[in-house]
Structure 1
């Protein structure tokens, strides 16, 4: 059986299991556990919604990358949809945090006060301080997250996202700014951001910016070149984004910012979040995707060659995350081991079960599966050793009974 077939079978099984775990009476599917954090900086409680991998059944030995999405009450559902379809082969398991901006949205997400007595604005500095000093520490205390963080924002949230990149780059690794409102306050922040792009270094940072249609509210056929070449009020919103994009493209070789942008001519401001999140997340985690599939697919691939590729994958993942990371989820290694065993490739089965033990040494299932392999190979001694380890980890008497059966 091909390795990708193994992955497909496993992912289908896992997705169905997770959907069942998330199901509740009267609902097909529920997302995001509601939580809240009191902010002394903002002098208020702020709601958040936390979406956990594995239907919330987390391994206490593991921590996960985390994605924060602004306007979480609206946008978290789009992020969860993308994540649930793409985790495994395209995205790692992650914890997703939707941050509420239902109240005081303009105040919190805009970068300067425009002096409107009917609308508070310009509080981005305080909201950034809240995120850095209160929200992120709260999430890290309560949930098993790593310091590999991604920030996503739409409209004013996109403005705030770029603000975090240029003024608070220590807080996040990745940024998705969806149709950002860079025209705010007569492009005041846009000009400041362009200056910072030209004068600061952004090595290790990645930014995806999306742009929605129409480019000109009075001319639906306007092109990007036409918008950049005029100063009309009707194209100010799009022109502001394009000027920032143009500057980012020009200096990315010098400031080392990993940058990509995309125009969505068939999406308007309200619909562009979903495709932006999909393409932005896939691009940000392009390095996570399994490479050289033919090595895994080919039954003639030697186990040592397969092991070399798997080890190299672990090195790539660890380099990008900045901390040691297994080459695959435990479930995938386990399922791969059994699939290889059932298809008459015992050396590859041993390799996968061995990798499961190596990267998940606390796992009872890893040692139990290793024992199954040795039993299939009539190696009772090593099977007993693995079962004893499973018993030590779990205290489950069933493993003692299994050992007794081996000795008969």
Structure 2
């Protein structure tokens, strides 16, 4: 019994059949001659498995310290996508060299700010928005979904982006952010934005077992998001008590990405057509683009429901699959098999006639395959 159920679950996960032959991701190095920064900056772009063989468009996750944080983030996304816990994504690693990292990712203190001139993290954010993102959109097949992830000063930069440019990023991951910076300046800015109700998207923020210098501003930040709830902002916080500041990035990125796409995963239980449509409606909302249940996914769950003798649910799924993918021989075959399984021979013959009429260019072999179901 267990072997049969595992086999059916594998059918449902048929998108994973090419794991062994697919590369995890491919990388491309880009150089931007930045007018904003008046210097040359490097990007490392991690393209998801199958990108070169597809015409699909992908959401994008931008990652600071991209040469360090990019590889494991791309690997994490590849793993989550293989198990359908998140979509495949393009990861753009924004390289932040040691000598400019503090300048690029941290805020200028309030008393040194020039309202007429951007500096430090605000200038770097303008570089990302006005030069990096347009370059990525021009070169690659992207969806409108953009995420931003950063660790430590990168986490500070990510939250600053959330506050200063609401809506630029649909989701933000901030791992052990340096919120103490400039006497917790970012907390004041965040409180103002929360009071105004301007923040939007999803925010994942985490901390490790660290010094009070890090944990106290973190706790205060989380408290602010609870005290001033924003309808358009969803926040979750997490503490990794067995990790340090330097070891928390992998876990933070993993759980962060999972939270950004909370609602994406399909439970590993039988799903009706209505169940799948609800999940794909959530996916469409997350990515801001219309997504439809793939043929192989509907077929797999239809077969699972058929095995469980859930006649109405199985037939509803397989009928939808045939109507949605009318040129698929397999969609017709599975529906005919289901009718025969449930002793509905008249319906099976009607489905055979429909297949013969609707499939264009049906070969002799395919006709014989359909007719053989009744032998």
Q: Is the 8 A contact 1:212 1:264 kept in 2?
A: yes
The one of 234, 241, 253 equivalent to 1:277 is 253
Matched, 1:246 2:212: no
Match of 2:262 in 1: 286
Match of 2:69 in 1: 75
Cα deviation for residue 86 of structure 1 reads: 2.0
Cα deviation for residue 165 of structure 1 reads: 0.4
Match of 2:151 in 1: 154
Structure 2 CA distance for aligned equivalents of residues 357 and 38 of structure 1: 52
Kindly provide the CA deviation profile for residues 269-292 of structure 1, in whole angstroms up to 9, marking residues without a partner as x: 11111111122222222211225x
Q: Is the 8 A contact 1:384 1:406 kept in 2?
A: no
Cα deviation for residue 380 of structure 1 reads: 5.2
Q: When the two structures are aligned, how many residues end up with a matched partner? A: 350
Match of 2:108 in 1: 112
Matched, 1:32 2:27: yes
Secondary structure of the equivalent of 1:171?
coil
Q: How has the CA–CA distance of structure 1 residues 267 and 170 changed in structure 2, closer, same or farther, with 3 Å as cutoff?
A: same
Q: Is the 8 A contact 2:32 2:41 kept in 1?
A: yes
Structure 1 CA distance for aligned equivalents of residues 33 and 322 of structure 2: 42
Matched, 1:369 2:330: yes
Cα deviation for residue 360 of structure 1 reads: 7.1
Structure 2 CA distance for aligned equivalents of residues 110 and 91 of structure 1: 30
Cα deviation for residue 356 of structure 1 reads: 5.4
Q: How has the CA–CA distance of structure 1 residues 373 and 359 changed in structure 2, closer, same or farther, with 3 Å as cutoff?
A: closer
Kindly provide the CA deviation profile for residues 345-393 of structure 1, in whole angstroms up to 9, marking residues without a partner as x: 99877755665576678xxxx62433544786565543344541xx6xx
Cα deviation for residue 150 of structure 1 reads: 1.4
Q: Give TM-score scaled by structure 2 length.
A: 0.78
1:325-344 pair list within 5 angstroms? 325-326=291-292, 328-336=293-301
Structure 1 CA distance for aligned equivalents of residues 41 and 320 of structure 2: 42
Q: Give TM-score scaled by structure 1 length.
A: 0.72
The one of 44, 66, 70 equivalent to 1:49 is 44
Runs of 4+ residues deviating >6 angstroms: 1-4, 338-350, 357-361, 403-408
Match of 2:354 in 1: 382
In structure 2, the gaps of 5 or more residues are 113-117, 338-347
Cα deviation for residue 44 of structure 1 reads: 3.5
Match of 1:394 in 2: none
Match of 1:319 in 2: 285
Structure 2 CA distance for aligned equivalents of residues 8 and 79 of structure 1: 26
Q: Is the 8 A contact 1:371 1:387 kept in 2?
A: no
Kindly provide the CA deviation profile for residues 303-335 of structure 1, in whole angstroms up to 9, marking residues without a partner as x: xxx222223333333333333222x44543455
Q: How has the CA–CA distance of structure 1 residues 345 and 261 changed in structure 2, closer, same or farther, with 3 Å as cutoff?
A: closer
Cα deviation for residue 6 of structure 1 reads: 3.8
Match of 2:209 in 1: 213
Secondary structure of the equivalent of 1:288?
coil
Match of 1:140 in 2: 137
Q: How has the CA–CA distance of structure 1 residues 342 and 193 changed in structure 2, closer, same or farther, with 3 Å as cutoff?
A: closer
Secondary structure of the equivalent of 1:111?
coil
Structure 2 CA distance for aligned equivalents of residues 79 and 59 of structure 1: 22
Structure 2 CA distance for aligned equivalents of residues 4 and 93 of structure 1: 25
In structure 1, the gaps of 5 or more residues are 23-28, 116-120, 216-234, 297-305, 392-398
Structure 2 CA distance for aligned equivalents of residues 144 and 346 of structure 1: 41
Structure 1 CA distance for aligned equivalents of residues 309 and 161 of structure 2: 53
Q: How has the CA–CA distance of structure 1 residues 331 and 138 changed in structure 2, closer, same or farther, with 3 Å as cutoff?
A: farther
Structure 1 CA distance for aligned equivalents of residues 280 and 84 of structure 2: 14
Q: How has the CA–CA distance of structure 1 residues 175 and 5 changed in structure 2, closer, same or farther, with 3 Å as cutoff?
A: farther
